[in-house]
């Protein structure tokens, strides 16, 4: 193991250097392997063109979106690491309560949060333990218990919301206003398509392709 350790360290350093030069390629081990084989040099332009020709454009778009999603999740994990929240679902619960502006029944809170009862209950219990939530009787029906956000929870929500606002600006920092407008328009078009797919309940990819893609041609 002692003989391997220096090689492992060099490999980690090489990967760090690769991601620093190619942020969008983080996690693409095939591309990283090619980078190592070239001794850390950029690929010839004809190789880049060949890759573009070999991989269909929709697949490249999907890959870019996947990498962007990976970056966003990493930023969020770093953000939550410096907060009282353990994971994204914690923030979802606080967001739903903040938007409601009132206490909610546990079942109502879970439904609005779109969390499964088992995992959602675990999140609520964790937030109760951190004094970010509390349970109070419904003033209109003392038999009903409502989950409410505490002052401490409200402060945490506001702080993280401010950080996410900064993150959203950073995510598109290299786009000017016109580019942001065009990107938003195109993303909305994609979401309109997939909202319809989700509503259809169809799971077979071949059927989805036939029903939706051909309709757009």
CA atoms within 13 A on the CB side of 33: 3
Rg (the chain; Cα; Å): 23
Quickly tell me which residue has 């770093």 as its tokens.
Answer: 78
Terminal CA-CA length for the chain? 58
Residues 6 or more apart whose CB falls under 8 angstroms from that of 92 comprise: 113, 114, 115, 123
Query: What are the pLDDT digits (tens) for 5-60?
Result: 555 556 666 667 767 676 666 566 666 666 666 666 665 554 555 555 577 888 88
Longest pairwise C-alpha distance within the chain: 73
Check residue 205 and give its pLDDT: 84
Other CB atoms within a 10 A radius of the CB of residue 141 amount to 9
CA 49 to chain CA centroid, Å, is: 30
Helix axes 88-100, 57-81, angle to 10 degrees: 80
Local confidence band at 1 (pLDDT 50, 70, 90 cut-offs) = very low
CA angle 117, 118, 120 (to 5 degrees): 60
Task: Indicate the pTM of the whole model.
Answer: 0.63
Query: What are the pLDDT digits (tens) for 78-88?
Result: 999 888 898 99
Query: What are the pLDDT digits (tens) for 190-212?
Result: 888 888 887 888 888 888 878 77
């Amino acid at each position: 193991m002692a003989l391997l350790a220096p090689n492992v360290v060099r490999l980690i350093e090489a990967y760090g250097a690769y991601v620093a030069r190619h942020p969008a390629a983080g996690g693409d081990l095939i591309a990283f392997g090619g980078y190592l084989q070239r001794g850390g040099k950029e690929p010839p332009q004809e190789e880049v063109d060949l890759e573009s020709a070999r991989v269909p454009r929709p697949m490249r778009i999907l890959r870019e979106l996947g990498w962007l999603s990976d970056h966003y999740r990493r930023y969020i994990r770093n953000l939550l690491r410096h907060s009282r929240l353990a994971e994204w679902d914690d923030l979802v619960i606080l967001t739903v309560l903040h938007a409601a502006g009132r206490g909610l029944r546990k079942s109502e809170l879970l439904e609005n949060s779109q969390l499964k009862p088992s995992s959602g209950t675990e999140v609520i219990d964790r937030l109760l333990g951190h004094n970010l939530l509390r349970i109070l009787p419904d003033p209109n029906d003392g038999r009903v218990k409502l989950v409410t956000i505490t002052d401490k929870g409200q402060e945490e929500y506001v702080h993280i919301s401010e950080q996410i606002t900064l993150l959203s600006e950073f995510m598109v920092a290299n786009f000017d206003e016109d580019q942001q407008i065009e990107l938003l328009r195109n993303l909305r078009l994609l979401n309109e398509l997939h909202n319809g797919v989700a509503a259809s309940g169809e799971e077979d990819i071949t059927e989805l392709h036939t029903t939706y893609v051909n309709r757009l041609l």
